[in-house]
């Protein structure tokens, strides 16, 4: 089955000043996506910008799927202006997603900022099992919590300045949770997406505690299919392509 398809924009609405939620309905047969996979979206039919942009699957809907994106450059600024009824070209779903937790595992899902776009579908898929740690610099960067209500087992919100939820980082909150006596005898597994320093620290903690952790990495992508080698990261087995062997890697594989 070809991973290239067309989709119609059903909605492209702001969720705050810097983020939009894009709702798409495929016009061609689309392969079923898995949590943690991504799509390459054609932003413009002209030459500027020339390349497609990579966006994580946010959630599957009855008629298609949604993309949650941050407006941070020319490509996403153009995307924000696309209206309902516009037809766009996409490639996907691409990459390797999150392995689902076993029945005996306790899932800790960690999202830093726009990292919530990658982990939302996982939280939804493993309904009522995820302990979700969601953090950002300030309260204005915490969003989509209403949409997540009912899917997680527990939600802990953190902000650096304490303007929303607990003051501090999600890594600190996650580490405190791992020290809770109630976890004794249970097998935690970590899933995380967010800024690289956050992922690096989660990887360090997971290694020190002997916990399996799956990290979704973000790199600039040109092709999305592993041909251009523009998104490689260093691992213990050599350089691997984030778009092909990732974006989700087991934390122990990565050389920071």
Asked if the structure places residue 100 within a domain, the reply is no
For residue 191, which of 56, 22, 31 has the smallest C-alpha distance? Answer: 56
Are 145 and 209 in a shared domain? yes
State how far the Cα of 249 lies from the Cα of 213, in Å rounded to an integer.
8
Question: How many of the other CB atoms lie within 10 Å of CB of 164?
Answer: 18
Among 73, 94, 115, the domain boundary falls at 94
Q: Is 56 exposed, middle or buried (0-12, 13-18, 19+ CB in 10 A)?
A: buried
The predicted structure's pLDDT at residue 227: 85
Long-range contacts of residues 131-134, Cβ cutoff 8 Å, at least 24 apart: 131/106, 131/107, 131/156, 131/177, 132/156, 133/108, 133/109, 133/158, 133/170, 133/173, 133/174, 133/177, 134/158, 134/170
Among 94, 129, 144, the domain boundary falls at 94
Q: Total domain count for the chain?
A: 2
Each residue's pLDDT tens digit, 121-132: 999 999 899 999
Are 79 and 125 in a shared domain? no
Q: Would you say residue 47 has pLDDT above 60?
A: no
Q: In sequence order, what are the residues at sequence separation of 6 or more whose Cβ sits closer than 8 angstroms to the Cβ of residue 150? A: none
Are 114 and 83 in a shared domain? no
Each residue's pLDDT tens digit, 134-180: 999 999 889 888 888 889 999 999 999 999 989 999 999 999 999 88
Asked if the structure places residue 34 within a domain, the reply is yes
**Strand locations in 27-160 (E):** 38-41, 53-56, 59-60, 65-70, 87-94, 105-112, 130-136, 154-159
Kind and range of the H or E run holding 175: helix 170-178
The predicted structure's pLDDT at residue 48: 62
For residue 123, which of 94, 158, 155 has the smallest C-alpha distance? Answer: 155
Are 172 and 51 in a shared domain? no
Asked if the structure places residue 99 within a domain, the reply is no
Angle at 190 between CA 93 and CA 254, to 5 degrees: 75
Which domain range does residue 152 map to?
105-253
The structure tokens 């899917």 sit at 151
Question: Which pTM was predicted?
Answer: 0.94
The predicted structure's pLDDT at residue 110: 98
Mean pLDDT of the chain: 92
Each residue's pLDDT tens digit, 207-244: 999 999 999 998 877 788 888 888 999 999 999 999 99
Among 94, 122, 145, the domain boundary falls at 94
Are 180 and 243 in a shared domain? yes
Are 82 and 199 in a shared domain? no
Asked if the structure places residue 184 within a domain, the reply is yes
The pLDDT > 70 percentage for the chain reads 97
Are 90 and 121 in a shared domain? no
Residue 18 gets which letter from DSSP?
T
Each residue's pLDDT tens digit, 85-120: 999 999 999 999 999 999 999 999 999 999 999 999
Asked if the structure places residue 154 within a domain, the reply is yes
State how far the Cα of 54 lies from the Cα of 42, in Å rounded to an integer.
9
Q: Return the CATH number at 47.
A: 2.40.30.10
């Amino acid at each position: 089955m070809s991973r290239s398809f067309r989709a119609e924009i059903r909605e492209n609405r702001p969720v705050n000043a810097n983020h939009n939620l894009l709702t798409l309905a495929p016009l061609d047969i689309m392969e079923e996506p898995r949590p943690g996979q991504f799509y390459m979206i054609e932003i413009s039919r002209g030459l500027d910008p020339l390349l497609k942009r990579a966006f994580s699957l946010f959630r599957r809907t009855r008629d298609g799927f949604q993309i949650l994106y941050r407006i941070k450059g020319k490509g996403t600024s153009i995307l924000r202006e696309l209206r309902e009824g516009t037809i766009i070209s996409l490639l996907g779903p691409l990459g390797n997603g999150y392995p689902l937790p076993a029945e005996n595992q306790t899932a800790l899902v960690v999202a830093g900022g726009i990292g919530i776009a990658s982990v939302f579908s996982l939280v939804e898929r493993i309904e009522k099992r995820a302990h979700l740690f969601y953090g950002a610099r300030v309260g204005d960067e915490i969003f989509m919590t209403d949409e997540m209500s009912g899917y997680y087992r527990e939600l802990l919100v953190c902000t650096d300045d304490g303007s929303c939820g607990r003051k501090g980082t999600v890594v600190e909150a996650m580490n405190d949770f791992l020290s809770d006596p109630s976890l004794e005898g249970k097998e935690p597994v970590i899933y995380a997406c967010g800024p690289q320093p956050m992922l690096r620290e989660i990887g360090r903690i997971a290694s020190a505690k002997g916990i399996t952790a799956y990290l979704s990495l973000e790199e600039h992508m040109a092709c999305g299919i592993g041909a251009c080698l523009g998104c490689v990261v260093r691992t213990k087995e050599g350089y691997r392509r984030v778009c092909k062997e990732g974006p989700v890697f087991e934390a122990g594989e990565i050389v920071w």
